[in-house]
Structure 1
Amino acid sequence: MTTDTTAAERTSTGVGADRAFLLLRTVFTIAPIAFGLDKFAEWLTDWEQYLAPWVNDILPGSAHQAMLTVGVIEVVAGIAVAVVPRYGALLVAGWLAGIIVNLVTMGEYYDVALRDFGLLVGALALAALAFDRAKPAA
């Protein structure tokens, strides 16, 4: 006895997965690039307020210089999601984990840390979908 699904079931599921992949890939390309560029423009917020003092103490330079470096890394991560989503999504997930640790150790911004945890799960979902697309058809 076989457990293969019918062609209609595979198509229906595949369309939903394709749409989810496209939505996640789009948001995890645009958001890191937008946030990265805003580290230079500072239209959205004063990003330095989110840098834990202990992180600032171990990094060379000022908090402002650290945020500019963060901006470059975020732009690169967004581009990586666009070009190689299975690895770019893992890069974004790792980056979000670092942001969460930074925020939680500050003892502030738990709401932002929780939001970033949700984003981290979304990035992992994108990676899972991207790795599925890399598998040869059976």
Structure 2
Amino acid sequence: MTDTASSQHDTAPTSPDVGADRAFLLLRTVFTIAPIAFGLDKFAELLTDWEQYLAPWINDLVPGSAHDAMLAVGVIEVAAGVVVAVAPRYGAVLVAAWLGGIILNLVTMCEFLDIALRDFGLLVGALALASLAWSRRRSVG
């Protein structure tokens, strides 16, 4: 005796793009929400003391205090999330580049290497979003 619902699911036609569309939507959502949330938290400081993650050599390069630098970082992160929402082909690359900068900052501190590794995974995810966004553009246009 076969399960009708199961056999219908197995034989239902599916587009090969369904998985890519779902992955695109998930990645676009997370790379919109996460940068905006983390950017806003640079002002609220609810999650952590963000200044501890700023390498001293970068703090020496930027004008003002480490707190001022983190506020600027917050603005950039919010903007990156908005760009992902509006133009994911470009926003995803922007987020990937930003994550590369964060990784460089963390690695040069010789601290927070676990966070640098996590951010490398996020960078790869952002590049996957960019790839999906560009392939969607070609298939539509």
TM superposition outliers: structure 1 runs of 4+ over 3 Å: none
2-side partners of 1:16 and 1:136: how far apart? 15
Q: How many residues are treated as equivalent by the alignment?
A: 129
Q: Does 1:122 align with 2:125?
A: yes
Mapping for residues 30-109 of structure 1, pairs under 5 Å = 30-109=33-112
TM-score (norm 2): 0.89
Please state how far the C-alpha of 1:123 moved relative to its aligned partner. 0.0
TM-score (norm 1): 0.91
**Cα deviations by residue, 1:71-123 (Å, 9 ceiling, x for unpaired):** 00000000000000000000000000000000000010000000000000000
2-side partners of 1:103 and 1:124: how far apart? 20
Match of 1:128, SS state, is helix
The change in CA–CA distance for 1:104 and 1:137 in structure 2 (over 3 A counts) is: same
Aligned residue in 2 for 1:21: 24
For structure 2, the residue ranges without an aligned partner over 5 or more in a row are 1-12
Cα RMSD after superposing both structures: 1.2
- Identity among equivalent positions (%) equals 76
For structure 1, the residue ranges without an aligned partner over 5 or more in a row are 1-7
2-side partners of 1:22 and 1:137: how far apart? 16
1-side partners of 2:114 and 2:104: how far apart? 13
Output the amino acid matched with 1:69: A
